[in-house]
Amino acid sequence: MIKERELENLTKTIMEIYGWDFRDYAISSLRRRIQRLLDLKKIPSVDDLVEMIKADEWIKQELLDQITVNTTEMFREPEAWVKLRRKVLPELQKKTEKISIWHAGCSSGEEVFSMAILLKELGYYESSEIHAADIDQTIINSALEGQYAMSKMELNTKNYYAAEGQEELLKYYVKKGNNATMDRSLLENVQFEIFDLVKDEPRSKYHLVLCRNVLIYFNQNLQTQVLQKLYDSLFPGGYLCIGTKESLMWVEASHRFKTIDQSNKIYQKPL
Ligand SMILES: C[S@@+](CC[C@H](N)C(=O)[O-])C[C@H]1O[C@@H](n2cnc3c(N)ncnc32)[C@H](O)[C@@H]1O
């Protein structure tokens, strides 16, 4: 098993050379992901990996791909989307002229397209702006491309209906060979940006922040720091939505939020 000392040395080197700070990522998943990279690339040890990072650039993207988990789906955990559809977005629409939404950790964009579809169906798209951010430029590029394997569309469609989708999901993409290409108009009000939740400060204030299935990869210390950042990024009365398997229970800054829906992990910054 990879030793803690080796991981410390590795994360320190990554930080010095690439500027990404993974020192407070959850250790068990970090250890697993690094081991996978060693096995995949047949790199004998963590110390060899450290030497490669110092000597060569090619490993940079491989490393980011392995350490950050990009798994995602459209309308993932659909019940939470029902809550956004029925309660959160209509309330925001009543209170503000332009709803500002931030996807922190947007991965390949399925969550962003889901939000755009939801806003269109509610009739709020034109009065909304969506910011979508991730640490990884390559994954942002695939979000911008908006092409997904047809094999994934079955689950996406199932989630869409469970999220009370009002049309057929097919209305929002065209099938080309084995891929689904999302309708470009869904991205008209979307801006993508590279953003590192560990070290960057939010550039704006938002009415709704989705940071779903991201905190789970951080240790308690980093979760606390990032949660404070998300809190600061919200307007008073703004909502935060995290993944349903995530918990704020052990995170210090959590008491600042009011719980709106415990099972769907929707919280509100008090007015
Ligand atoms: C598992 S995906 C979650 C995607 C989507 N939010 C969802 O729930 O389906 C986690 C994403 O967080 C991103 N991520 C990891 N560390 C990050 C950081 N420090 N700053 C910003 N994004 C980060 C990863 O690149 C990845 O795309």
Q: Is the CB of 68 under 6 A from ligand 1?
A: yes
Q: Is the CB of 69 under 6 A from ligand 1?
A: yes
Q: Is the CB of 166 under 6 A from ligand 1?
A: no
pLDDT tens digits for 81-137?
999 999 999 999 999 999 999 999 999 999 999 999 999 999 999 999 999 999 999
Average pLDDT of every residue of the chain:
96
Please give the average per-residue pLDDT across 130-159, as a whole number: 98
In this structure, the strands spanning 206-211 and 99-104 are: parallel
Q: Which atom of ligand 1 is nearest to the CA of 139?
A: 27
Q: Which residues, 6 or more positions from 111, have their beta carbon under 8 angstroms from its beta carbon?
A: 72, 74, 76, 103, 210, 212
What is residue 135's predicted lDDT score, i.e. its pLDDT?
98
Is the pLDDT reported for residue 56 higher than 80? Answer: no
Q: Which residues, 6 or more positions from 232, have their beta carbon under 8 angstroms from its beta carbon?
A: 202
Q: How far is the CA of 22 from the centre of ligand 1 (A)?
A: 13
Query: Atom 2 of ligand 1 has which residue's CA nearest to it?
Result: 70
Q: Which of 244, 59, 248 is nearest to 162 (CA)?
A: 244
DSSP string of 107-159, one letter each residue: TTSHHHHHHHHHHHHHT-GGGEEEEEEES-HHHHHHHHHTEEEHHHHHHHHHH
Q: How confident is the model at residue 142 (pLDDT cuts 50, 70, 90)?
A: very high
What is residue 234's predicted lDDT score, i.e. its pLDDT?
97
What is residue 242's predicted lDDT score, i.e. its pLDDT?
98
What is residue 265's predicted lDDT score, i.e. its pLDDT?
97
What is residue 251's predicted lDDT score, i.e. its pLDDT?
81
Q: Is the CB of 261 under 6 A from ligand 1?
A: no
pLDDT tens digits for 218-227?
999 999 999 9
Helix (H) or strand (E) holding 222: helix 220-233
Domain boundaries, the chain: 4-67, 78-268
pLDDT tens digits for 186-230?
999 999 999 999 999 998 999 999 999 999 999 999 999 999 999
In this structure, the strands spanning 173-176 and 128-134 are: unpaired
Q: Is the CB of 70 under 6 A from ligand 1?
A: yes
3-state secondary structure of 98: coil
Q: Is the CB of 225 under 6 A from ligand 1?
A: no
Q: How confident is the model at residue 254 (pLDDT cuts 50, 70, 90)?
A: confident
What is residue 255's predicted lDDT score, i.e. its pLDDT?
85
What is residue 228's predicted lDDT score, i.e. its pLDDT?
94
Q: Is the CB of 143 under 6 A from ligand 1?
A: no
> What's the CATH number for 78-268?
3.40.50.150
Q: Which atom of ligand 1 is nearest to the CA of 197?
A: 20
Q: How far apart are CA 116 and CA 142, in angstroms?
A: 17
Q: In angstroms, what CA-CA distances link 38 with 18, 31, 50, 65, 66?
A: 19, 11, 11, 13, 10
Q: Which atom of ligand 1 is nearest to the CA of 210?
A: 6
What is residue 57's predicted lDDT score, i.e. its pLDDT?
75
Q: How far apart are CA 268 and CA 271, in angstroms?
A: 9
